[in-house]
Structure 1
Amino acid sequence: MEKLRSIIGFLGVLAILFLCNAGLGFLVFAEGVELLPIGNLKTSLTAPPAGLRWRATKPQLVHAGESAHRYAARPCMVRLEDGTLLASLEWNAGEGASTVLFIESLDGGKSWSKPFEAKVPIDRADGGVMGLMNDGRILMACDRALGSNLGVVKNRSGKPLPKLIKKTGRRPDGKETEAYENYRYYSDTWITFSSDRGRTWSAGRKVEHETLMGSSLWTGARPAELADGTMVIPIDGYLSSDDMDGIWLSSGVLRSSDRGGTWKFSVVGQTDRKQGMVFSEPAMTELRDGRLVFMMRTQNRVIEEDQIPEEFRSGLYRSVSSDGGRTWSMPVRVLAGTHCSITQLGNGQLLCGWHRPIQYALSSDAGKTWTKPEPWFLGRDSHQGWYTNVEFYDDETAVAMLKDYGPHPNWIWACRLALVVDDPTEQTAARDGFPVGKSRVDQERNALLLSDYKYEWKIAGMAGYSGQDLQRIHTIDHAGQAIRTRVGGRGNYKAGMARLEAGRVVLAVCQQHKDYYTNPKNRTFSMVVYESPDSGRTWREIARPSIHAKEPSLTVTADGALLLTAQDFRLNGKRNEMWVCRSTDGGRTWDKALIPGRSYPRNVVVEQDGTLLFLRSKGAEKFELCRSGDHGKTWTFSEGLIDWRPEDISAFSEVSVLRLKSGNLLAALRHRRPVARSGAAPRGHRGHALARTMVTVSGDDGKTWSTPRPLTNTGEVHGNLLQLKDGRILVSYVNYHQPFGVCVVLSHDEGKTWNTDRRVQLSFSAVTATGNNGWPVSLELGDDRFLTCFANNAYPYDDPPTVTCETVQWKLPPSMQPTQLRSKK
């Protein structure tokens, strides 16, 4: 570990493996086997088993290390004979013995024990890797740094350390390279054993070998005892003092056929100064047929990397041995990445995990070809990541330990990889956001029909195609008479709405500036308040609160006041705050305040005790719960963790929440298409029309939330929840596909299921240059009558203001009356 700190501290990120072309020349093994020129990158052609695929589950934090040394935590994991997964997390080198922090899992990585410490009786060992002996004992190989002139390694070698020189070198073809002189690194390698699941360890035994100098071990370098008793340790180091002088690393295996008494070194990847290439960070696994698969990392030291083809700059090489590691096949570049770990899964496939970024791929042909890489992490915590250590558990499970990066370099996450039924629609439907259709066959057909449209021609991707289920036909019934009115004039846009006593309704709407599209200085909204004395038949303006705001919600609090929340839309503002305003005179005058937070809610809940609650997004994986005990004058904030499926983690917004009669909380949110599904698609392919509404439930007052599940198809968003007096739940949303317009559907079981086959469409609109209807809010008036307000892009872009605010008073059709719903259960 000291060596790791020193090299990376000086060189930045020195990639230690490296890709070469047919001009490499010849390499020679320590045991006399000639190595042919290294080959080119193999195309990734491997397919998962038919009907099944490996999928990463949501990672869990298993170690929040706080050491000041960013390399203190380096995960290494081994599966014991009884199925226990044992993982070492962090090393603390000490005199006479080193202290190692371990955890273990008895259920394949679903849960992990509390950390426990064990003493490894090797003086100042600062890192180790684990494998299994044939008798079930754990074999740990450790390295110990004795001195270096690079970084902070204390010199305990007794040898002089000259000053390291960094300079510019030159390849025979004239290309300039990074070059070094006088590098010194002294180390040794030890082994130790445990027979009690890592609680105690035997006295360390030094690995004596003369071939390799300055050796080191990496987290993927899992040692093994082969069937014939040969012990094998993947390792890197320097083949000569000249190689060490210039930091020219090579990789290979140490082999012992006398149970660790003596060792020989076989080269797998040998450094080549003429080409400017180094090999290191080895990983190895033993296949069930007895072959060994070896992976390495490369870097080319040419300074101007654009002088070298991308495929020859860095990557992971593969080599195979069929004779217990004595001789090895020609190394071939098979993956792009750094520092890997490999293991064979229960179905025979190889799993390789690596970083930059942390991801994985699978191979069905012993590593020759690999599936398309997939990420371990998704969402806000999806970052570069660092070292990955993977291990087989059973026929349907593998586990990875992932070292964090950035502000928490000593955090370690555990992530399970599960074998699940494959869903081909995820690929065929990728360009349309999410699979649409009642069956897999329908989803596949829809995906083909909805692909290749130019979604980006329309704002937010609203070309009218996403989310349509084209495998169905519909009947159009006249559901009854409605009363539709416009609130104010053109320019009124999104609104919040609340019902006071005696049927009086108050509506707050954000009004678009008349020069919104023609003058950048006027790209803002002001707030206007209206009231209706007759449940939405007529409207009159009553106030203009002096705020620039958008995305309003309106609530009647327990003390009879009106509460207005809105997105801060001040000119030149950073929009890191949210408006919260109160009116005690029915909306005519307002007390205005700002609270921290960029996001905003779709509604506010009034609890039985009069307290207020609203939810908004907190990054990609959490809710922020905002509560007030004084009718909105002051607020407290907490977080709620959402149990996202990894593949669904993405930005979300526009949260609507209800306190159900059961006591649970139900939330609906607008879920944006994950970047993993969008890839490099144009921006229009990731717009609002490729989002959907999802719902999630909390049974612990918002601390944790269930795995979100879709309420609507793609392109059906802006969900606003309303609990009816009889317990049913109504959600108002908008179609961002044909037929455009505002819709409502009902649930009679607290949001578990929704009657989406019997939706009521309250408005229709055509594709315009600016958009369509949206952001509906509904109120219950009684006798199955409702009032819904919504924004309408009613006028073309070249004739601003383009938007209006409309309301429609309507009644549930007979087919959606409570008695009809119950009869269909």
Structure 2
Amino acid sequence: MPTATVPFRAGREGYASFRIPAVVVTAAGTLLAFCEGRVESARDWGHIDIVVKRSTDGGRTWGPLKAAATNGPHLAGNPAPVVLDTGRILLVHVRSAASASEDAILRGKVPDADGRRVWVQHSDDDGVTWSSPREITESVKKPGWRWYATTPGHALQLSTGRIVVPANHTLPPTGADTGTEAKYNSGHCLLSDDRGQTWYLGYLDQNTDGRINVNETTAAELPDGRVYFNTRNDSPSPGNRADAHSEDGGRTLTIPFRPQAGLDGPVCQGSVLQLRDPDVLLFSGPAFPGGRALMTLRASADGGRTWRPVFTADGLPAAYSDLVRVDADTVGLLHETGDFGANERIVFRRVPVTGLT
């Protein structure tokens, strides 16, 4: 049986590129692999759909590609799926005009209506069909914020029932020159206590001293009920990762994000997943400090304080990733990779749990 399959390959199925993977397992045991289907090129703006493929055999084979979220000729991206205790699958994501590049948004050159706005959809039939999108921007994005991104990767529902969606944003520069680029990324999360009906903002980490530059963030609930957040850090701190804990379900951080030098690698997104049996916290991301390559799983037995490598996919280029518990014996790793560049294909790997402890 294959341990690795390729659900998405650049230049196929009507899309020039596939990026930004996210994966969940439904209440029925179906794997849903999401990503951005970029119609024209690999760039981060333009005509982009959120596409999905389903697997009913643990990722060994995949069904046909379908669009889960579209925005006409514009952008629907940064999929943050989560499977609820009711069986409903939520898909939180962002939308913007096709012409709204990140640079233009950061410089304040994009009207709010065309900028990054937040939407949610759901599926009640195991990911086969999806509801119409519903906008939640006013509840989770403060006036003046420029850039905005959910996760990337899966969101989570805590044992309390609360939904937590890690996210990041930028603030406009202070002073007279409001047309300059926002220099610092900031972190926050979206919270819902009624299974996605209403939403509000959780913690804010808006450090502007240059020590930590909170960017794309992932989260997991630890066995003791704390929420562990791990983020891409774009500042020249020790290492390129930072992390934090929350003791109140994401409303606040116990201590603001601090450098996590135990996770060597390039500036890139990563994913975390808490296993309950065995009790181990996993992190996925490229481990080659000089560039996006060497996709590696690392494990922590102390809630993210220390880490050790437990699995390496190969030495090829690699970038964004997401993790899922497929079954009692298997962890799934969905990640960007390629022979000469990290954006050639998105691969799904079945990793035995026994090798991760």
Normalising by structure 2, what TM-score? 0.78
Q: Is the 8 A contact 1:121 1:202 kept in 2?
A: no
Query: 2:226 aligned to 274, 291, 296, which one?
Result: 291
Q: Distance in 1 between matches of 2:279 and 2:299?
A: 10
Q: Is the 8 A contact 1:70 1:410 kept in 2?
A: no
Q: Is 1:134 the counterpart of 2:85 in the alignment? A: yes
Q: Distance in 2 between matches of 1:127 and 1:186?
A: 14
Q: Distance in 2 between matches of 1:228 and 1:420?
A: 29
Q: Which gives a bigger RCO, structure 1 or 2 (Cα 8 Å, sep 6+)?
A: 2
Superimposed CA distance per residue, residues 168-200 of structure 1 (whole angstroms, 9 cap, x where no aligned partner)? xxxxxxxxxxxxxxxxx9311111111112221
Q: Distance in 2 between matches of 1:189 and 1:322?
A: 26
Q: Which residue is 1:249 aligned to?
A: 185
Q: Distance in 1 between matches of 2:89 and 2:39?
A: 20
Q: Which residue is 1:543 aligned to?
A: none
Alpha-carbon distance change, 99 to 236 in structure 1, aligned in 2, over 3 angstroms:
closer
How far is the alpha carbon of 1:120 from its aligned partner? 2.3
Please list, as runs of the form range in 1=range in 2, the aligned pairs for 1:384-783 lying within 5 A after superposition.
384-405=317-338, 406-407=340-341, 409-420=343-354
Superimposed CA distance per residue, residues 535-562 of structure 1 (whole angstroms, 9 cap, x where no aligned partner)? xxxxxxxxxxxxxxxxxxxxxxxxxxxx
How far is the alpha carbon of 1:70 from its aligned partner? 7.3
Q: Is 1:371 the counterpart of 2:308 in the alignment? A: yes
Alpha-carbon distance change, 293 to 408 in structure 1, aligned in 2, over 3 angstroms:
closer
Q: Which residue is 2:125 aligned to?
A: 196
Q: Distance in 1 between matches of 2:162 and 2:354?
A: 37
Q: Is 1:327 the counterpart of 2:252 in the alignment? A: yes
Aligned residue for 2:353, secondary structure, equals: strand
Q: Distance in 1 between matches of 2:231 and 2:351?
A: 23
Please list, as runs of the form range in 1=range in 2, the aligned pairs for 1:194-233 lying within 5 A after superposition.
194-207=123-136, 208=138, 209-211=140-142, 212-220=145-153, 222-233=154-165
Normalising by structure 1, what TM-score? 0.36
Q: Is 1:60 the counterpart of 2:11 in the alignment? A: no
Alpha-carbon distance change, 236 to 99 in structure 1, aligned in 2, over 3 angstroms:
closer
Q: Distance in 1 between matches of 2:10 and 2:188?
A: 32
Q: Is the 8 A contact 1:284 1:293 kept in 2?
A: yes
Alpha-carbon distance change, 98 to 347 in structure 1, aligned in 2, over 3 angstroms:
same
Alpha-carbon distance change, 298 to 92 in structure 1, aligned in 2, over 3 angstroms:
closer
Q: Distance in 1 between matches of 2:85 and 2:215?
A: 27
Amino acid at match of 2:279: G
Q: Is the 8 A contact 1:139 1:223 kept in 2?
A: no
Q: Is the 8 A contact 2:17 2:38 kept in 1?
A: no
Q: Which residue is 2:169 aligned to?
A: 237
* Residue ranges of structure 2 left out of the alignment (5+ in a row): 41-46, 287-291
Alpha-carbon distance change, 298 to 373 in structure 1, aligned in 2, over 3 angstroms:
farther
How far is the alpha carbon of 1:295 from its aligned partner? 0.3
Alpha-carbon distance change, 403 to 70 in structure 1, aligned in 2, over 3 angstroms:
farther
Query: 1:336 aligned to 249, 264, 267, which one?
Result: 264
Q: Which residue is 1:773 aligned to?
A: none
Alpha-carbon distance change, 69 to 257 in structure 1, aligned in 2, over 3 angstroms:
same
Superimposed CA distance per residue, residues 447-475 of structure 1 (whole angstroms, 9 cap, x where no aligned partner)? xxxxxxxxxxxxxxxxxxxxxxxxxxxxx
Q: Which has the higher Rg, Structure 1 or Structure 2?
A: 1
Alpha-carbon distance change, 58 to 421 in structure 1, aligned in 2, over 3 angstroms:
closer
Q: Is the 8 A contact 1:148 1:186 kept in 2?
A: no
Alpha-carbon distance change, 407 to 70 in structure 1, aligned in 2, over 3 angstroms:
farther
Q: Is the 8 A contact 2:202 2:250 kept in 1?
A: no
Aligned residue for 2:302, secondary structure, equals: coil
Q: CA RMSD in A?
A: 3.4
Q: Distance in 2 between matches of 1:152 and 1:117?
A: 29
How far is the alpha carbon of 1:143 from its aligned partner? 1.0
How far is the alpha carbon of 1:283 from its aligned partner? 0.5
How far is the alpha carbon of 1:362 from its aligned partner? 0.8
Query: What is the aligned-residue identity percentage?
Result: 23
Count of residues in correspondence between the two structures? 322
How far is the alpha carbon of 1:262 from its aligned partner? 4.0
Amino acid at match of 1:409: N
Q: Distance in 1 between matches of 2:164 and 2:297?
A: 25
How far is the alpha carbon of 1:157 from its aligned partner? 4.7
Q: Distance in 1 between matches of 2:199 and 2:322?
A: 28
Q: Is 1:118 the counterpart of 2:62 in the alignment? A: no
Amino acid at match of 1:236: N
Q: Distance in 2 between matches of 1:70 and 1:408?
A: 14
Superimposed CA distance per residue, residues 633-654 of structure 1 (whole angstroms, 9 cap, x where no aligned partner)? xxxxxxxxxxxxxxxxxxxxxx
How far is the alpha carbon of 1:410 from its aligned partner? 3.6
Q: Is the 8 A contact 1:349 1:362 kept in 2?
A: yes
Q: Which residue is 1:351 aligned to?
A: 282
Alpha-carbon distance change, 257 to 417 in structure 1, aligned in 2, over 3 angstroms:
same
Superimposed CA distance per residue, residues 654-700 of structure 1 (whole angstroms, 9 cap, x where no aligned partner)? xxxxxxxxxxxxxxxxxxxxxxxxxxxxxxxxxxxxxxxxxxxxxxx
Please list, as runs of the form range in 1=range in 2, the aligned pairs for 1:84-103 lying within 5 A after superposition.
84-91=30-37, 99-103=49-53
Q: Distance in 2 between matches of 1:397 and 1:321?
A: 28
Greater helix percent: which structure?
1
Query: 1:76 aligned to 2, 13, 22, which one?
Result: 22
Aligned residue for 2:279, secondary structure, equals: coil
Alpha-carbon distance change, 318 to 99 in structure 1, aligned in 2, over 3 angstroms:
closer
Q: Distance in 1 between matches of 2:329 and 2:31?
A: 15
Q: Which residue is 1:279 aligned to?
A: 214
Q: Is the 8 A contact 2:170 2:182 kept in 1?
A: no
Q: Distance in 2 between matches of 1:287 and 1:149?
A: 34
